[in-house]
A and B are shown apart, each in its own frame.
Chain A
Amino acid sequence: MGAPVFNRSLLDACAAGDIDGPAANPIWVSAARQLPLHRFDWWRIDDPGYPPYLIPTTKNSKPPPEILAQVELSPSTSGPWTTWDFSRPVRYTQLHYPGPELDQLKEQARADGRPDISRLDALLAHIWAAINRDRGHGDSTDKVFLNFTLGARSRVAPVVRFLHRVAAVPHAYPNVGCCRLCFEFGRNSESDPADDAAFHA
């Protein structure tokens, strides 16, 4: 592994079209917004259940009012703040699934007609089903979401080496869609196996 690369232009170069122009290109905007990505708006501090302690972080993410006044904000949705009850305790647990059990789970899933299912795909579907069941959604028609942090380094063209790490979210149920894109510090390598862990586990 060579010296770390932290060069934002490597990522910028992966963007379609002109990202320094005065306005976004509607063609790319349209393509981007067809992806299963949430657009929860952290600036809507008047939304029901919006946590007051987040307001300062919301404020300091805003450009000056004179700039904001000239901008038309892109479409967004309200976050499901009312589903988050801060007063309820949260517990932690750790599960271990041995390799042979995962192989068995994967083979079961593949036998159901999806030969592209990985061990991790099968395991996450298994655990997510349990989470939903044990959260009491068994008889509910409410939508539930699996947000999956997905590696992007190997998905941009050309595949690049950079120190940003990008991630996103697929879904296992037909009524579910959501992706997360985030940039975080990661390792620098030609093809970081963690980027694609979800697909080849």
Chain B
Amino acid sequence: MLRFTPEAMGAMLHDAAHEVSPQRLWQAFFCGTQHTLVTSWLRLHVYQVDFVGSEQQPRYAHAVMPKMNGCLQVMDPGVDDGGIDIALYLDAEAMERFLLDRQLHI
């Protein structure tokens, strides 16, 4: 990530601007068995948003993501313990092993 310096970003934008179509090249793969696609919404403070005008904080906020193998969404937690929530979509068989994976615990 350290390679994404302002100069590198400028070069990337230059290259992208000269592409024939923005949809042609995809810089990530969002599914399948080899890829994991991570998006972080940490510090967006979604639990401080009054979504429905109830003047109350939401009890649970969830990013709507496609149900695709390897989609991983990082969220602030709904509890005040300084932690992190991970929303994960995985192939059903892999998920079964994942949830039983003892090394998953810290």
Contacts and interface: CB of A to CB of B under 8 A. Distances in A.
B36 interface: yes
B52 interface: no
A163 interface: no
Given A101-B106, A131-B70, A149-B40, A119 B84 contact: yes
A183 to B, nearest CB: 8
Contacts, number: 303
A58 B21 CA distance: 10
A182 B1 CA distance: 15
A81 B90 CA distance: 17
Interface string B66-92: 011110101001010111111111111
- Which secondary structure characterizes the binding site on chain B? mixed
Interface residues of B, number: 74
A180 B12 CA distance: 11
Contact of A123 (B30, B79, B86): B86
Contacts of A157: 6-7, 9-10
Given A38-B27, A40-B26, A131-B94, A62 B21 contact: yes
B17 to A, nearest CB: 4
Contacts of A187: 44
Interface residues of A, number: 100
Nearest to B105: A101
Given A19-B18, A127-B104, A168-B1, A144 B26 contact: no
B84 to A, nearest CB: 5
A180 B84 contact: no
Interface string A73-117: 110100111011000111111111111111011000000000000
Contact of A156 (B13, B23, B84): B13
Interface in B1-48: 1, 3-44
Contacts of B17: 12, 15, 19, 24
A6 interface: no
Interface of B: 1, 3-44, 67-70, 72, 74, 77, 79, 81-99, 101, 103-104, 106
Given A95-B86, A144-B35, 17 more contacts: A15-B13, A15-B14, A17-B10, A24-B17, A32-B15, A68-B20, A93-B87, A94-B88, A95-B88, A97-B83, A119-B84, A135-B94, A150-B1, A168-B1, A178-B27, A180-B37, A193-B44
21 contacts: A14-B9, A14-B10, A16-B13, A29-B14, A31-B8, A32-B16, A40-B26, A40-B28, A74-B20, A76-B24, A80-B29, A90-B89, A93-B95, A95-B86, A98-B81, A99-B82, A101-B106, A123-B84, A144-B35, A146-B38, A169-B38
